[in-house]
């Protein structure tokens, strides 16, 4: 037997209320998204000449009526006729947004319409015991009034209450959700979810002081006026073309995103792709400092300028989690509640696009201004090095932008380093031996001794260095790394003759023996140094592999 499962709305409502959304607070985001969609739809229809009305400067208003326990969301968008309320509101899970995009496929694909699942509106019942819609369509039809108390019964009738085009949603806030009548709470939500939405959102008014007219008397009192308090920036930097933005604009947007951050970012990466997926955004390399709050100031994910989440794991490759900024993509597959990613191929593609973009930016930064790049290296190296060991594609390009600093403040690219040490630092098998220190103070005497011999010593001091070295050794031909206190240093073949020690051979032998006896450990090698140029008379080294075993 075949049949279809009968889902009745009585059963669905409590489910929506309880389980559909993890967070009750997102009701406001959903209703403002609908108000935004209604406005953008009207904009589109007027632009193609299908709606012959004045578009004007529409805004969305959020109003608290504490006394009557009501919250109003009012838009000046395209409105709904009675027929449309029947179709779009009374049919749960029928998305008017999707239908619109389907109908105006080509012309509206960049319109920024947000809706998707046809469930957003019902999130209102998570906080309201009764919801009213009063709507007047841009079409010449009477306004309608819809009332529903959360049961499947509703009333829908014509009304003369509304003469202006647009929709007003009235939520009768339930007893367990009275916090949503608090001004602070609503302001917090508007800041979190709607800060960069594309239609201006009014929440109350504020007083503005007018400038004094020229030549005003000294004791003149400036006039003040009440103006709309607009809580969002409808055209955030990432929605603009990189060519429109100057360095200051990027910096200003950084502070707009993270008002508590006073440090300037090191540089930014503007993301902009429309094929095979749509994605825009700006990522910043923050200056690594004590006030870096990686828990709080994270990369934010938006969809058509609506905040979705700052849990971007999966979309942004792990090594870039230390960056800040925004990513906006209508194509990131999210489930209904929007905070959870549906991991799939698209997400992988986005992640590898971001990786590539960051690598490209590094290349252009180092080519544009090498000196400046050298200076920033210590702040960005942890990110780059982590990228090199964790993302193969990133590693493959890293020769063009990864730096290897020496203990005396030079910063080499890989090929520069090779050129520099080739004549002087090979072992008997012809491998280049790259000497490095992990702590300039502790390994001071070893560094000094290596430098006296004419060797370059790198300073590699980030915590992931053992992994980076392993990666480089397995990927590059005929090289090996040796920490400056490892015994390799004794086996290097140099072109120059070694300096002659002031001690004669017998004296040297006995000194060496003494030291060896006092260490009493065959794991170490004692090497005498030239006493003239070195502040340590001998160095004690240990095989590189043994030391690494401890480090890893
Ligand atoms: P979605 O936004 O995913 O399409 P919703 O449940 O949020 O689904 O809304 C259902 C539909 O109701 C919308 O697609 C739209 O057609 C209509 N609608 C909701 N709010 C408004 C509004 N403020 N103005 C005009 N139409 C609206
Ligand atoms: Mg919606």
**d(CA 31, ligand 2 centre) in Å:** 7
- How sure is the predictor about 346, in pLDDT bands with cuts at 50, 70 and 90? confident
Specify the higher pLDDT residue, 522 or 378: 378
Tell me the average pLDDT across 218-236.
92
354 cis-preceded (ω within 30 degrees of 0): no
**d(CA 310, ligand 2 centre) in Å:** 21
For 134-176, what is the HEC assignment?
A: EEECCCCCCEEEEEECCCCCEEEEEECCCCCCEEEEEEEECHH
The reported pLDDT for the residue numbered 47 is 94
- How sure is the predictor about 344, in pLDDT bands with cuts at 50, 70 and 90? confident
Measure the CA–CA gap between 421 and 482, rounded to whole angstroms.
Answer: 13
Dump pLDDT digits (tens) for 309-324.
998 888 899 999 889 9
**d(CA 142, ligand 2 centre) in Å:** 24
Q: Does the pLDDT of residue 160 top 70, yes or no?
A: yes
Specify the higher pLDDT residue, 490 or 293: 490
* Nearest atom within ligand 1 for CA of residue 73: 23
For the sheet containing 306-309, what is the strand order? 267-273, 279-285, 324-328, 300-303, 306-309
Tell me the average pLDDT across 400-412.
95
Q: Name the closest-CA residue to atom 2, ligand 1.
A: 115
The reported pLDDT for the residue numbered 333 is 78
Mean pLDDT across the chain: 86
Residue 155 annotated as lining a ligand binding site = no
Measure the CA–CA gap between 357 and 397, rounded to whole angstroms.
Answer: 11
Q: Does the pLDDT of residue 69 top 90, yes or no?
A: yes
- How sure is the predictor about 28, in pLDDT bands with cuts at 50, 70 and 90? very high
- Residue 25 DSSP symbol: T
Pocket residues: Cβ below 6 A from ligand 1 = 30, 34-35, 37-38, 75, 77, 80, 88-89, 95-97, 115-121, 167
Q: 145-149, 161-165, 294-298: lowest mean pLDDT where? A: 294-298
* Nearest atom within ligand 1 for CA of residue 84: 16
- As a residue count, the chain comes to 552
**d(CA 434, ligand 2 centre) in Å:** 59
Contact 471, 394 (CB under 8 A): no
Instruction: Give the phi and the psi of residue 111 in degrees, each rounded to 5.
Output: -75, -15
The reported pLDDT for the residue numbered 416 is 95
0.90 surpassed by complex ipTM: yes
Residues with CB under 5 A from ligand 2 (ion): 34, 115, 120
Q: Is 468 exposed, middle or buried (0-12, 13-18, 19+ CB in 10 A)?
A: buried
Look-up: residue for tokens 């072992």?
Answer: 427
CA-derived radius of gyration, the chain: 33
Dump pLDDT digits (tens) for 465-483.
999 999 999 999 889 998 9
- How sure is the predictor about 531, in pLDDT bands with cuts at 50, 70 and 90? very low
Measure the CA–CA gap between 304 and 192, rounded to whole angstroms.
Answer: 15
Residue 337 annotated as lining a ligand binding site = no
Residue 424 annotated as lining a ligand binding site = no
């Amino acid at each position: 037997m075949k049949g279809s499962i009968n889902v009745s709305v009585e059963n669905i409502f409590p489910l929506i209320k309880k389980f559909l959304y993890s967070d009750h607070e997102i009701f406001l985001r959903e209703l403002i998204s609908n108000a935004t969609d209604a406005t953008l739809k009207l904009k589109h229809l007027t632009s193609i000449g299908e709606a012959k009305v004045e578009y004007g400067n529409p805004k969305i208003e959020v109003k608290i009526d504490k006394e009557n326990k009501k919250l109003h969301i009012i838009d000046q968008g395209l409105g709904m006729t009675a027929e449309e309320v029947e179709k779009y509101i009374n049919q749960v899970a029928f998305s008017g947004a999707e239908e619109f995009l389907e109908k105006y496929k080509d012309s509206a694909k960049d319109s920024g319409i947000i809706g998707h699942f046809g469930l957003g509106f019902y999130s209102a019942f998570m906080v309201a015991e009764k919801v009213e819609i009063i709507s007047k369509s841009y079409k010449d039809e009477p306004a309608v009034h819809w009332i529903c108390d959360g049961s499947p019964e509703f009333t829908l009738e014509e009304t003369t209450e509304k003469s202006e085009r647009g929709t007003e949603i009235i939520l009768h806030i339930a007893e367990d959700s009275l916090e949503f009548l608090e001004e602070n709470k609503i302001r917090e939500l508007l800041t979190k979810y709607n800060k960069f939405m594309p239609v201006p959102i009014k929440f109350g008014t504020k007083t503005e002081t007018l400038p004094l007219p020229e030549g005003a008397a000294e004791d003149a009192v400036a006039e003040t006026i009440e103006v709309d308090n607009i809580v969002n920036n409808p055209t955030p930097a990432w929605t603009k073309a990189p060519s429109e933005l100057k360095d200051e604009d990027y910096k200003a947007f950084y502070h707009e995103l993270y008002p508590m951050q006073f440090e300037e970012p090191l540089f930014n990466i503007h993301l902009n792709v429309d094929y095979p997926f749509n994605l825009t955004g700006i990522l910043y390399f923050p200056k690594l400092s004590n006030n870096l709050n990686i828990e709080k100031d994270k990369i934010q994910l938006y969809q058509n300028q609506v905040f979705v989440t700052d849990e971007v794991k999966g979309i942004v490759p792990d090594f870039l989690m230390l960056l800040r900024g925004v990513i906006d993509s209508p194509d990131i597959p999210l489930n209904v509640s929007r905070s959870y990613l549906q991991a799939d191929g698209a997400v992988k593609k986005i992640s590898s696009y971001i990786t590539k973009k960051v690598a490209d930016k590094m290349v252009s930064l180092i080519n544009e201004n090498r000196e400046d790049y050298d200076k920033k290296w210590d702040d960005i190296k942890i990110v780059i090095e982590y990228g090199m060991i964790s993302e193969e594609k990133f590693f493959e390009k890293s020769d063009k932008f990864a730096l290897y600093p020496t203990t005396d403040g030079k910063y080499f690219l890989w090929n520069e380093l090779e050129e520099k040490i080739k004549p002087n630092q090979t072992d008997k098998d012809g491998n280049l031996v790259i000497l490095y220190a992990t702590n300039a103070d502790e390994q001071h005497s070893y560094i000094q001794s290596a430098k006296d011999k004419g060797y370059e010593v790198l300073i590699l001091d980030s915590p992931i260095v053992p992994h980076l070295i392993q990666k480089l050794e397995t990927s590059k031909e005929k090289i090996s790394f040796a920490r400056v206190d490892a015994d390799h240093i004794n086996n290097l073949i140099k072109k120059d003759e070694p300096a002659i020690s002031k001690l004669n051979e017998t004296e040297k032998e006995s000194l060496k023996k003494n030291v060896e006896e006092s260490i009493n450990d065959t794991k170490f090698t004692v090497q005498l140094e030239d006493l003239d140029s070195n502040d340590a008379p001998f160095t004690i080294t240990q095989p590189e592999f043994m030391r690494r075993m401890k480090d890893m």
